[in-house]
């Protein structure tokens, strides 16, 4: 038929196809011949397709024919929620100019456009939405704020700068740096867990609490340790050094999955000992070593060799590598 691809099950429509592929002349012809501009076929309306595919001319045409910029698709997302790349900024501007609600949340999770932009690290989108009245303190159904979303998504070092800029904009607009979201993770927990030092410094400058615990009892410092373990676990000597710098071994779940099987097999005795000691008390000798090193603080490296102690004890205080955690 003219309007659907299959007469048995309507998966799409001619207007959806034209809108998604940027055939604006074809879309205009269909609309003039009576195609319903907001017909949801196969879970989406033409407007969703044109925005998702970045077909600005088709989106403009559909809006001119009365398309609803706030129409939800079958997944509960409005067109503005589909602006997920830097190139979609013009589509976002167009939708807002035609009445898109910047505070509208998705049906199930209540994600706003600001959440989506923050999660994707879209600085210009965040600025645009804040300018149009987006609330930096709005929460999803799970309690996540846009700042939570940005800090949780900042996983790769090459993306650090844009997520830093997103967080800057949100904090300047009044976002709460201590707002706890899913599992009671604050933005600082997320930034520490992702190993993002500049983001951590930014949050601390804005008053984030470094001592608050999440639902598992972990502070941001614990999350930073877990992140460091993930980086170190592929190098057994480095991992041993890090683990022995603390008076307790953190849960192995935070790093064990990052160890390649062939490396585990090669250093099985070491990894097995580290996994076995996780969550169990360390020996009194090690606890005494930790206490001395903590007391010396930043002077530890220079002070230990000068201590009036037997050479074996001085050597032990310097965290020698033994290839096993005990």
| Residue 234 pLDDT exceeds 50 | yes
Distance in angstroms (rounded) separating the CA atoms of residues 60 and 51: 10
Is the Cβ–Cβ distance between 59 and 51 less than 8 Å?
Answer: yes
238-280 pLDDT, tens digit per residue, is 989 888 887 888 888 878 888 999 999 999 999 999 999 988 8
| Strand partners for 13 | 4
**Least confident stretch, 70-79, 105-114, 223-232, 316-325:** 223-232
**300, 302, 308, 311 alpha-carbon torsion, rounded to 10°:** 90
pLDDT at 279: 82
Q: Which two tokens stand for residue 294?
A: 């903590």
Higher pLDDT, 24 or 294: 24
Assign domain 1-73 to a CATH class.
mainly alpha
Average pLDDT over residues 294-322: 91
Please provide residue 163's backbone torsions phi and psi, each rounded to the nearest 5 degrees: -70, -30
Q: Where are the alpha helices (DSSP H) in 143-267?
A: 146-153, 160-172, 187-193, 197-205, 220-232, 236-244, 261-266
Higher pLDDT, 223 or 112: 112
Average pLDDT over residues 294-304: 89
Average pLDDT over residues 212-225: 89
| Residue 10 pLDDT exceeds 70 | no
**What is the pLDDT of the chain when averaged over all its residues?**
93
**Burial code of 245-255, b = ≥16 C-beta within 10 A, e = fewer?**
eeeebbebebb
- Which run of H or of E encompasses 113? helix 113-120
**Least confident stretch, 28-32, 68-72, 93-97, 295-299:** 295-299
Q: Which two tokens stand for residue 248?
A: 């307790």
| Strand partners for 248 | 281
153-190 pLDDT, tens digit per residue, is 999 989 999 999 999 999 999 999 999 998 999 999 99
119-145 pLDDT, tens digit per residue, is 999 999 999 999 999 999 999 999 999
| Residue 4 pLDDT exceeds 60 | no
For 10-41, give the DSSP string: ---BHHHHHHHHT-HHHHHHHHHTT--TT--B
pLDDT at 187: 97
Which residue shows structure tokens 């050597």?
A: 315
3-state secondary structure of 4: strand
| Residue 286 pLDDT exceeds 70 | yes
pLDDT above 70 coverage of the chain, percent: 97
Helices 236-244, 268-277: inter-axial angle, 10-degree rounding: 30
Distance in angstroms (rounded) separating the CA atoms of residues 54 and 41: 19
Report residue 86 CA to chain centroid gap: 17
| Domain residue ranges in the chain | 1-73, 235-326
pLDDT at 1: 40
Output the pTM of the full model: 0.81
Q: Where are the alpha helices (DSSP H) in 233-305?
A: 236-244, 261-266, 268-277, 284-296, 300-303
pLDDT at 8: 54
């Amino acid at each position: 038929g003219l309007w659907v691809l299959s007469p048995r099950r309507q998966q799409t429509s001619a207007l959806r196809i034209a809108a998604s592929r940027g055939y604006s002349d074809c879309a205009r012809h269909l609309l003039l011949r009576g195609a319903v501009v907001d017909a949801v076929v196969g879970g989406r309306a033409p407007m969703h397709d044109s925005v998702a595919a970045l077909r600005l001319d088709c989106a403009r045409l559909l809006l001119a024919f009365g398309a609803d910029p706030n129409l939800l698709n079958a997944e509960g997302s409005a067109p503005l929620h589909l602006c997920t790349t830097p190139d979609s900024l013009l589509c976002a501007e167009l939708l807002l100019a035609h009445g898109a609600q910047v505070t509208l949340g998705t049906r199930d999770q209540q994600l706003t456009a600001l959440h989506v932009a923050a999660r994707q690290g879209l600085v210009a989108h965040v600025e645009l939405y804040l300018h149009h009245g987006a609330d930096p303190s709005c929460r999803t159904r799970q309690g996540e704020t846009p700042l939570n979303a940005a800090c949780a998504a900042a996983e790769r070092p090459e993306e650090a700068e844009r997520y830093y800029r997103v967080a800057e904009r949100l904090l300047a607009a009044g976002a709460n740096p201590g707002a706890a979201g899913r599992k009671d993770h604050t933005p600082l927990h997320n930034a520490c867990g992702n190993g993002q030092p500049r983001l951590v410094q930014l949050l601390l400058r804005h008053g984030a609490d470094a001592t608050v615990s999440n639902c598992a009892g972990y502070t941001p410092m614990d999350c930073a340790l877990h992140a460091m373990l993930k980086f170190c676990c592929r190098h057994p000597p480095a991992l041993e050094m890090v683990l022995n710098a603390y008076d307790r071994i953190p849960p192995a779940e935070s790093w064990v999955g990052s160890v390649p099987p062939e490396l585990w097999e090669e250093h099985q005795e070491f990894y097995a000992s580290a996994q076995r000691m996780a969550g169990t008390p360390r020996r009194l000798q090690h606890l005494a070593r930790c206490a001395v090193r903590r007391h010396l603080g930043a002077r530890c490296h220079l002070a230990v060799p000068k201590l009036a102690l037997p050479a074996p004890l001085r050597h032990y205080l310097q965290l020698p590598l033994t290839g096993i955690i005990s």
